[in-house]
Structures are given as structure tokens and as C-alpha cells.
């Protein structure tokens, strides 16, 4: 079926079978590969994108359900919060292999957009679904706190 997606501020017409995960339309059809495939079962968060500003797992979102929503991927981040998060990530050299980090950043931006000054417990709670096999968690936590500071400045 023909589906119209509003992604990163642009409208895209795509052909996809109903029930296709949004993840695969983003990666294979639109060729935006910053959004990653890690598990396909909502257990790792590597595929996190924003629907109307809220993080969702794109591997568990049917493409037809995303029609009409504003979809944002890592490539389309452009806000005060996202800038603070990405700057903090670079400042603290959070990444190792990097494969999980788009998803981490999308979740972190979601968290700080809802709650500009999260406690450690709130960070751990919110980020619980984003796995990092390289275990960069200490730096993720620190970078979220750092981004929170930068947002206030």
C-alpha cells in the first residue's frame, strides 16, 4: 500500500505492506541508517525514533500507524535538548562501538524533553530499555546529567 510519512520535516511517499515495521521502511526504503536494528523485539532500544516527540521502538511500530505522525530519527534531531545531548555525548566520549548510541540519544532526548533535571534513579528507569553491549552506561548517565546542565546554561 502507498503510505505517506512525515519524517524529519519532509513528506515521503513509500510503498510498504501493512504490518511492516517502521524500522525497515526507514532503513531499507528511505536509507536513513542512523536508526539501528538490534533485536526486532523491543528489547534493546537501538531502533528508537520519536513519534510526535516521544520515543518509540520503530521495530515494533507498524508503518501504517506512523502515518500522520511527525517522525524524527537521529538524522533529524534539531532542538536545544538534542544539541545539548549530542554535545554532552561528544564531550564525555560516551561511544565505544557506537551501534546502540543513536537509540540511546533518542531516548535521552525524550527523557530530558519531559524532565529537564532527572535524578540518577529517573535516568536509570527511563534508559532501562536501551541496551549497550559495550556497557557505556556510566558515561550515558553522566552525559545525560551534563546535557541537563548545558540546557540550563
Binding site for another protein (CB under 8 A): 17, 20-21, 24, 27-29, 31-41, 43-44, 46, 73-75, 77, 86, 89-90, 93-102, 105, 123-125, 127-128, 130-141
Task: Output the nine-digit C-alpha cell for 125.
Answer: 528507569
Cβ-based neighbours of 137, under 8 Å, separated by 6 or more: 127
Q: What CA–CA distance (Å, rounded) separates 104 from 99? A: 10
* Residue 57's binding partner out of ligand FES, another protein, none, with CB under 5 to 8 Å set by partner kind: ligand FES
Q: How far is the CB of 152 from another protein (least distance, A)?
A: 21
Q: How many residues does the chain have?
A: 153
Tell me which residue of 28, 26, 50, 46 sits closest to 37, measured CA to CA: 46
CB atoms within 10 A of CB 87: 14
Question: Is residue 38 part of the contact set for ligand FES (CB under 6 A)?
Answer: yes
* Residue 138's binding partner out of another protein, ligand FES, none, with CB under 5 to 8 Å set by partner kind: another protein
Q: How far is the CB of 145 from another protein (least distance, A)?
A: 13
148 with 112: CB under 8 angstroms?
yes
Task: List residues binding ligand FES (CB under 6 A).
Answer: 37-40, 42-47, 57, 59, 95-101, 132-134, 136
Amino acid at each position: 500500500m502507498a503510505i505517506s510519512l512525515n519524517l524529519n520535516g519532509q513528506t515521503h511517499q513509500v510503498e510498504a505492506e501493512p504490518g511492516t515495521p517502521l524500522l525497515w521502511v526507514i532503513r531499507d526504503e528511505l536509507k536513513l541508517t542512523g536508526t539501528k536494528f538490534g533485536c526486532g523485539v523491543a528489547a534493546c532500544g537501538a531502533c528508537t525514533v520519536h513519534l510526535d516527540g516521544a520515543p518509540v521502538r520503530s521495530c515494533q511500530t507498524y508503518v501504517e500507524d506512523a502515518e500522520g505522525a511527525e517522525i524524527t530519527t537521529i538524522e533529524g534531531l534539531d532542538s536545544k535538548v538534542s544539541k545539548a545531548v549530542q554535545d554532552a555525548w561528544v564531550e564525555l566520549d560516551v561511544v565505544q562501538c557506537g551501534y546502540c548510541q543513536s537509540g540511546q540519544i533518542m531516548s535521552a532526548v525524550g527523557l530530558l524533553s519531559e524532565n529537564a533535571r532527572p535524578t540518577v534513579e529517573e535516568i536509570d528507569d527511563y534508559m532501562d530499555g536501551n541496551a549497550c553491549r559495550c556497557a557505556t552506561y556510566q558515561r550515558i548517565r553522566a552525559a545525560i546529567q551534563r546535557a541537563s546542565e548545558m540546557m540550563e546554561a
